[in-house]
A and B are shown apart, each in its own frame.
Chain A
Amino acid sequence: MKKPILTALRAGLIACSVCHLLCHAGPPEATSRALKCPRCGATLHSRKPDSIARTWALVIAACIFYIPANVLPMTTVTSLGMVQSDTIMSGVIYFVQSGSWPIALIIFIASVFVPLLKLGILGYLLVSVQLRSHYRPKDRTRLYLITEAVGRWSMLDIFVVTILVALVNLGALATIQAGPAALHFAAVVVITMVAAMSFDPRLIWDAKEKRHE
Chain B
Amino acid sequence: MSLAHLMACHDCDLLQRIPSVPEGAAALCRRCGTGLIRNKPKSFQRPLALLFAGAILFVMFNAFPFLTVKKEGLQHKTHVVTGIRQLADQSMEALAALVAINLLIVTGLHLLASLYVLVPVSLNRKVPGMFRVFRYLRLLQPWHMVEIFMLGVLVSMVKLAKMAQIIPGVAVYSLTAFIFVMAAASAAIDPHEVWERWEAPR
Contact = CB atoms under 8 A, between A and B. Distances in A.
Contact of B131 (A7, A19, A205): A19
A120 interface: no
Interface stretch (A49-57, A62-70, A161-169): A161-169
B149 to A, nearest CB: 5
Contacts of B67: 163, 166-167
Contact of A186 (B7, B95, B103): B95
Chain A interface residue number, banded: 35 or more
Given A155-B102, A182-B92, A8 B145 contact: no
B90 A165 contact: yes
Contacts of B8: 7-8, 13, 15, 20, 22
Contacts of B86: 162, 165-166, 169
A51 B174 CA distance: 41
B195 A20 contact: yes
A97 B134 CA distance: 48
Given A8-B13, A141-B12, A158-B98, A166 B82 contact: yes
Given A137-B32, A178-B87, A156 B198 contact: no
Given A138-B33, A168-B69, A159 B148 contact: yes
A202 B31 CA distance: 12
A11 interface: yes
Contacts of A22: 3, 6-8
A7 B195 CA distance: 22
Contacts of A193: 142
A198 interface: no
Contacts of B76: 167, 169-170
Interface residues of B, number: 64
Contacts, number: 189
Given A103-B158, A106-B151, A190-B98, 16 more contacts: A22-B7, A40-B195, A98-B162, A106-B155, A137-B12, A144-B11, A153-B148, A153-B151, A156-B148, A156-B151, A159-B99, A159-B149, A174-B163, A178-B87, A182-B95, A205-B31
Closest 4 CB pairs of A and B: A159-B152, A166-B83, A8-B8, A15-B8
12 contacts: A8-B15, A40-B135, A137-B32, A160-B156, A162-B87, A163-B152, A164-B159, A167-B76, A167-B166, A169-B76, A177-B90, A186-B98
Interface of A: 5-11, 13, 15, 17-22, 38-42, 95, 98, 100, 103, 106-107, 137-138, 141-142, 144-145, 148, 152-153, 155-160, 162-171, 173-174, 177-178, 182-183, 186, 190, 193, 197, 201-202, 204-206
